[in-house]
A and B are shown apart, each in its own frame.
Chain A
Amino acid sequence: MIWRGRYYDGRTARRQDVTVTVSDGTLSFDTDDGSTVVWKPDDLELSAEDDSPVVRLVNPAVPDAVLEVEDPAFPQALQRAAPGIGSVGSRLRRNRRSIVIVVIACIVFAGAVFGVATVLPGVAAALIPSSVQRSVGDNVVGQIVSAISAIEDREGRFCENAAGQAALDRLIRRLAAGHDDVAFRIRVADLQMVNALAAPGGRLLATRGIIDFAESAEEFAGVIAHEMGHAIHRHPTRAVIREAGLGATLDLLTGGGLGGTTAWVLVRTAYSRDAEREADDAALDLLGRAGIATAGLVRLFERFEKEMPDAPKGLEMISTHPRSAERVERLSRAGAAGGGPAMPDADWQAIRAICDQG
Chain B
Amino acid sequence: MTAETPPPDAAYGAEPNPSGGDGPDPHPLVYDGRSGRLFGLGVRVALLTLVTLGVYTFWGRTRIRQYLWNRLTLLGDRIRYTGTGKELFLGFLIVIAVLGPLGIAFGVFDFVLRGYGVFAHAAYMAVQYILYLFLIGLAIFLARRYRLSRTVWRGIRFGQTGSTPRYALKFLGWSLLVFLTLGLLVPLMTVSLTRYEIDNTWFGNRHFRFDGRARELFGSWIFCWLLLPFTLGLSYFWYLIRVTIYTAEHSRFEGLSFSLPIRLRNAWGVLIPALLVNLLYGVAIYLAVRAVTPVGAPVSLTFQIVAGALFVFVMVFGRALVLALVTHRFIALVARRLTMEGTADFDSIVQSLQPRPGTGEGLASALDVGAGL
Taking beta carbons and an 8 Å cutoff, which residues of A are in contact with B? 4, 6, 8-15, 49, 51-54, 56, 64-66, 68, 70, 98, 101-102, 105-106, 109, 116, 120, 124, 128, 132-136, 138-140, 151, 237, 240-241, 244-249, 252-260, 262-263, 310, 312-314
Contact = CB atoms under 8 A, between A and B. Distances in A.
A18 B301 CA distance: 67
Interface string B351-373: 10000000000000111100000
B295 A51 contact: no
B351 A12 contact: yes
B276 to A, nearest CB: 21
**Most chain B Cβ neighbours within 10 Å, of A8, A56, A237:** A8
B294 A314 contact: yes
A13 B204 contact: yes
24 contacts: A12-B347, A13-B203, A13-B347, A14-B346, A15-B76, A15-B154, A49-B66, A53-B12, A54-B12, A68-B78, A70-B13, A128-B108, A128-B112, A138-B115, A244-B111, A245-B104, A245-B105, A249-B96, A252-B100, A252-B103, A256-B54, A257-B57, A259-B51, A259-B55
A53 B154 CA distance: 17
B108 A245 contact: yes
B348 A49 contact: no
B264 interface: no
B171 to A, nearest CB: 19
Interface string B65-107: 0110010000011101000101001101100100110011111
Nearest to A58: B82
B341 interface: no
Contacts of A140: 114
B156 A258 contact: no
Contact of A136 (B52, B104, B112): B112
Contacts of B104: 116, 120, 245-246, 248-249
A56 B79 CA distance: 12
B350 A12 contact: yes
A289 to B, nearest CB: 31
Contact of A105 (B93, B152, B204): B93
B89 A102 contact: yes
Contacts of A9: 155
Interface in B8-48: 12-13, 34, 37
B204 to A, nearest CB: 6
A241 B366 contact: no
A158 to B, nearest CB: 19
B277 interface: no
A112 B93 CA distance: 12
The 4 closest A-B pairs by CB, nearest first: A257-B54, A8-B155, A245-B107, A135-B115
A15 B13 CA distance: 11
Given A252-B366, A257-B56, A258-B315, A11 B77 contact: no
A329 to B, nearest CB: 28
Contacts of B93: 105, 109
B39 to A, nearest CB: 14
A54 B79 CA distance: 11
A116 B153 CA distance: 45
Nearest to B203: A13
A255 B367 contact: yes
